[in-house]
Amino acid sequence: MHRRHLLLTALALSHTPLAFAQDAWPSKPIRIVVPFAAGGTSDVLARLIGEKLQVALKQTVLVENKAGAGGVIGADAVAKSPGDGYTLLLGTIASHAINPALQPKMPYNAVNDFAHVILLGSISNVLLVGAAQPYKTVPELIAAAKKSPGSISFASAGQGSSQHLSGEMFKLLTGADITHVPYKGSAPAIQDVIGGQVPMSFETVTVAVPHIQSGKVRALAVTSAQRSAALPDVPSLQEAGVAGFDVASWQAFYAPAATPPAIVNRLNAEIAKILAMPDVKARLDGLGLAHTANTPEQFTAFGKAEIAKWTRVGKEGKVKLE
């Protein structure tokens, strides 16, 4: 009996460190992978929320930019990372809806290879032209593009980004023949519009507002059906005469699929609290991001619906991403 008691005690103690390890999460730094270049919308949001999450979890939160292929490279790296709660992805409409819907070959499954943590919200894109460009209205731009097909190019944050698809939808709905010039992120794209290397772009309100306010670029219209709170004086493309135009970029947190549900739910709750903080909410309002509370289950359903939507758009507009 004595030996049996010692054996049971030893077995119990052998399991104790594992229980403590699970309860102690997070016990080391957490990495947020941003699949775009520094300075873009995803980068801004990751750093804003990461700073607060660091306080809430009492653990270091690092942001790592891993740009390329419209968000696919960074997303794939996270999909293949351990599901231990220490690697997160600031995913987007590009990495988890547009590319999965339009790319013939994807290295990951946007639904099954990720744990859906929380949808942060949506942000309108805005049609911009450089300050030195002659176009003052959307009809003027369309007329010029139709007069000289292919002569006007537009910059985007990358192949398969919402900015890219905004341009493709613009072509589809207006008949204007404009040429896509993809960049590795928003920051380099808008810099070339400012510098005059590319005459126009579709960019998120988040990135565009400071440059609009400084007079370096001119906003002709926003892509969402309604005007953006961040740019109340700028009409929507629908108001500017492009019927049916409605595109909004969205941002969200994901983790590798094997991440324990308890950690996913903890992250959802902590990030939801952060988004409700007055200073954060004011910052997000200024960036034009509209957030609605959501659970991991609700976010998963949203993600599936978005893939279905962009699959339909791809077929109707004959858009393929290579």
Contacting residues for 240 by C-beta, under 8 A, at least 6 apart: 137, 138, 139, 220, 221
Question: Mean per-residue pLDDT for 113-121?
Answer: 97
Question: Mean per-residue pLDDT for 33-46?
Answer: 89
pLDDT of res. 17? 44
Say yes or no to pLDDT of 29 above 60: yes
User: Inter-axis angle of helices 296-317 and 261-276, to 10 degrees?
Assistant: 80
pLDDT of res. 75? 98
pLDDT confidence tier of residue 11, bands split at 50, 70 and 90: very low
The pLDDT tens digits for 167-208 are 988 998 999 999 999 998 889 999 999 999 999 999 988 889
The pLDDT tens digits for 255-276 are 999 999 999 999 999 999 999 9
List the domains of the chain with CATH numbers.
Answer: 29-122+250-317 (3.40.190.150), 124-222 (3.40.190.10)
pLDDT, the chain, mean: 90
CA distances from 313 to 87, 174, 240, 317, 320 (A): 32, 15, 21, 6, 10
Question: Mean per-residue pLDDT for 46-73?
Answer: 95
In angstroms, the CA 118 to CA 294 distance is 7
- Sequence letter at residue 213: Q
pLDDT of res. 223? 95
Say yes or no to pLDDT of 109 above 50: yes
pLDDT confidence tier of residue 23, bands split at 50, 70 and 90: low
Contacting residues for 200 by C-beta, under 8 A, at least 6 apart: 127, 128, 129, 130, 133, 135, 141, 152, 153, 154, 155, 178, 193
Confirm whether pTM is higher than 0.85.
no
Say yes or no to pLDDT of 277 above 80: yes
> Considering only 231-235, 250-254, 314-318, which range has the smallest mean pLDDT?
314-318
